[in-house]
Amino acid sequence: MSNVIVLGAQWGDEGKGKIVDLFSDRFDIVARYQGGHNAGHTVQVGDKKFILKLIPSGILRPGVRAVIGNGVVVDPAALVEEMDMLEKMGIDVKSQLSISNRAHVIFPFHRVLENISENRKDREAIGTTSRGIGPCYEDKVGRRGIRIAELLDEPTFRTLYRYIAEDKQTLARAFGIESEIDFAGICQQYRMLADRLRPMVCDTARLLNDAISAGKRVLFEGAQGTMLDIDHGTYPFVTSSSAAAGGACTGTGVPPTRIDGIVGVSKAYITRVGGGPFPSEAHGAAGDAIRRAGNEFGSVTGRPRRCGWFDVPLLRYTATVNGFDSLIITKLDVLDELSDIPVCVRYKIGGVETDEMPATRAAMESMEAVYETLPGWRKPTKGTTRYEDLPDEAKRYVDFLESRSQVEVGCVSTGPERSQTIVRAGSKLEKLFS
Ligand code: GDP
Ligand code: IMO
Ligand code: MG
């Protein structure tokens, strides 16, 4: 009975939603362990398209329990909006969703503070999603945050909210923002939201551990990607949570001894949204062509995603910090039209070649990609379901990524739909998901 973590191996938007949805029918529970409604996981089921932000993609499978773990930050208004959207589309959210009583709550002042810090004239912006994610995690780590359990207890909530709102008001004034926090209005709004969430709130660490003890299977769904992880990513151009595999344990309360496998998801190329270093970025026409073919626009903010070539040292780095058992390569079909495909195989920093990921901003910014170029296949691969049916050059491309990254490629995705997928026979991935 395997419990498996599925997470992003790059800078997010690797296609995690499609993959989690695809395999979730083999699990009893799908659990999110970090992030918030900064995530946008697109799942296409037939002619229906779902964009999930906070709710795990497993919700789309009837009978599968979807858990929002303690490591997630929850904007109750955004969560209720997403619940309503899914209910309208026929999903039984009320009976499938469980929300951790230890998850932290996002308030409107978190967004205000994020905008202040992102818009400071003399500082470089991170390019965040403006959802209040970073400031909420700051309050959590600063030990002044408010958890869902406290949101549900009105007298406690009013006291804690008053303390934190006073602090934020003082901070906002220091930056010249004079508008008053509407204390009574927010308390009333959050009381109503709390009443909507109350039936779904519980100790999800206990729920998950009891389920595992009873022989049930859990799939852990990562949000963002390893290179956006607060510790292992391209700091400070990262998100504020532990997107890497270790976060699945701290973010759900399921111990490492109960995890059986870790699967990375990576595009056949690479994208990033927001600021920060990107050594294999394809500028100009080449980048535009990938963006067009891959429809690379943010599902949360609509921003055009920066596009570039597959980065082998980055993948080896994320494979090391996550311990991938297997890798899923998505969006292979997006490269169908290209006659040549560059792959970044090393970096050059200060004239010296290396395959190590640097830790300082200065070194990250000066990284240049060293490429090897592979021939394209210029034949359609969209919808291919058997590895042997891929064009020879496409197989060579996947084999190249596998041998250079030193991680098995257990699955290749050839389109957004569930059926547009190749699972390689005899792979570790096939065993983990069987
Ligand atoms: P996530 O955040 O990792 O779940 O990824 P997103 O949903 O933000 O972005 C991935 C996009 O690519 C979505 O629109 C998916 O429907 C789409 N997608 C996923 N896999 C494939 C694939 O193999 N081929 C193509 N063409 N699109 C895909
Ligand atoms: P999914 O789960 C891609 C990026 C933002 C910004 C940085 C910090 O769909 O892969 P934040 O609002 O989190 O403080 O922003 O992280 N970012 C994402 N990029 N996919 C995501 O999620 C992202 N979530 C955050 O663009 O650069
Ligand atoms: Mg996304």
The CATH number covering residue 418 comes to: 3.90.170.10
Residue 257 and residue 270 in one domain = no
254 lies in the same domain as 274: no
Domain shared by 220 and 184, yes or no: no
Q: Which helix (H) or strand (E) covers residue 372, if one does?
A: strand 368-375
Which of the listed residues 215, 232, 261 is the one where a domain comes to its end? 261
Whether residues 408 and 304 fall in one domain: yes
Cα separation, 367 vs 350, whole angstroms: 8
> Are both 252 and 191 inside the same structural domain?
no
The answer to whether residues 265 and 18 touch, using CB atoms and an 8 Å cutoff, is no
Domain count, the chain: 3
Give this prediction's pTM. 0.97
Question: Within this chain, do residues 304 and 412 fall inside the same structural domain, yes or no?
Answer: yes
Cβ contact 99:197 at 8 Å: yes
Pocket of ligand 2 (CB under 6 A): 8, 12-13, 38-41, 126-129, 131, 133-134, 223-225, 228, 239-240, 273-274
In the set 21, 28, 41, 75, the catalytic residue is 41
Q: Which of the listed residues 261, 289, 313 is the one where a domain comes to its end?
A: 261
Pick the last residue of a domain from 221, 245, 261.
Answer: 261
- What does each of the 434 residues of the chain score in pLDDT, given as a tens digit? 599 999 999 999 999 999 999 999 999 999 999 999 999 999 999 999 999 999 999 999 999 999 999 999 999 999 999 999 999 999 999 999 999 999 999 999 999 999 999 998 888 999 999 999 999 999 999 999 999 999 999 999 999 999 999 999 999 899 888 888 888 999 999 999 999 999 999 999 999 999 999 999 999 999 999 999 999 999 999 999 999 999 999 999 999 999 999 999 999 999 999 999 999 999 999 999 999 999 999 887 888 999 999 999 999 999 999 999 999 999 999 999 999 999 999 999 999 999 999 999 999 999 999 999 999 999 999 999 999 999 999 999 999 999 999 999 999 999 999 999 999 999 999 999 99
* CA distance to 20, 59, 86, 368, 418, per residue, from 49 (Å): 15, 14, 11, 38, 12
CATH number of the domain at 132, please: 1.10.300.10
Look up residue 141 and give its two tokens: 């780590």
294 in the same domain as 245: no
How far from 412 is each of 189, 294, 341, 397, 405, CA to CA, in Å?
45, 15, 17, 12, 15
Same domain? 111 vs 238: no
Query: Are 424 and 365 part of one and the same domain?
Result: yes
**Domain shared by 327 and 395, yes or no:** yes
Residue closest via CA to ligand 2's atom 16 equals: 239
Are residues 191 and 315 part of one domain? Answer: no
The question of whether 232 is a catalytic residue gets the answer no
Same domain, 235 and 364: no
Domain range for residue 110? 104-197
